[in-house]
Amino acid sequence: LGEVSAGSKVAILGIGGLGMQGIEIGKLLGAHITCTSRNQKKLEMAKSLGADHVINTRSDNFVDVVRKSVGSFDVVIDNIGIRESIQDSVAACKNGGRVVVVGYVEEKLEAPFYDIVIREKQIVGSRAATRSEFREVVNLVNTGQLDPDIGELIPISQINQALENLKDGKYLTRSVFMLPFD
C-alpha cells in the first residue's frame, strides 16, 4: 500500500515484530529506512537488520529529529496507531507522500486537514495482507531472502503471561504460541 520502491525514504514508527519485518522488506526493495522506538534494544536490532537511521522517541522528538537531519519521507508506516503517532506521521510525510496506518489503538482518526488537502498527503489503512502478498512473503522466507525472526516459542498455557510481556515490551520480535502435542 505504501508503494515503496528503490530509493524511497521510509519511516517505520514502532518496531516490534511487524516493524522488524518492514525493515527487511524495505531493504529488499531498495528503500532507505528510518525507525522509531522507545526501546533501545529494538533500535539496535533495527540497525542490525539494515535500518539507515534510528530514533529513540523516549529521549528525542521524532518530528524535530526528522526536520533537522533526515528530511521528509515518501512513506511513513505507523505501527502505533495513536493520535500522536498519526500527527507525527503526517508531519514527517513529504507533500504528496503516503502514510500507511497499521496500528489501531484509537477509535477515531484525527489528522491535520490542511496537510491532507493542501499538501496532498494520503492516509491509507492496512489491516492484513492479500493472499498473493502472503504467498510472496512465504516465498521470500523459503528462498532465504527474508528471516521471519521468531523470538520466543511460548507454550499456549502461558498465554496470559505472554500477553503481559508483550504489553510491557519484553519481546523484541515475533513470538509464537505452541500448542501441546500429545
pLDDT tens digits, residue range 21-72?
999 999 999 999 999 999 999 999 999 999 999 999 999 999 999 999 888 9
- What's the longest Cα–Cα distance across the chain? 61
Q: What is the DSSP letter of 157?
A: G
160 CB-contact burial (10 Å; exposed 0-12 / middle 13-18 / buried 19+): exposed
Of 156, 159, 162, 161, nearest to 179 by C-alpha is: 156
**Is pTM, for the whole model, over 0.85?**
yes
Rg (CA), the chain: 17
Q: Which stretches in the chain have pLDDT values below 50?
A: none
Percent of the chain with pLDDT over 90: 61
Query: Phi and psi of 103, rounded to 5°?
Result: -75, 145
User: Which triple of cell numbers denotes residue 153?
Assistant: 516459542
Which SS3 state, helix, strand or coil, does residue 124 take?
Answer: strand
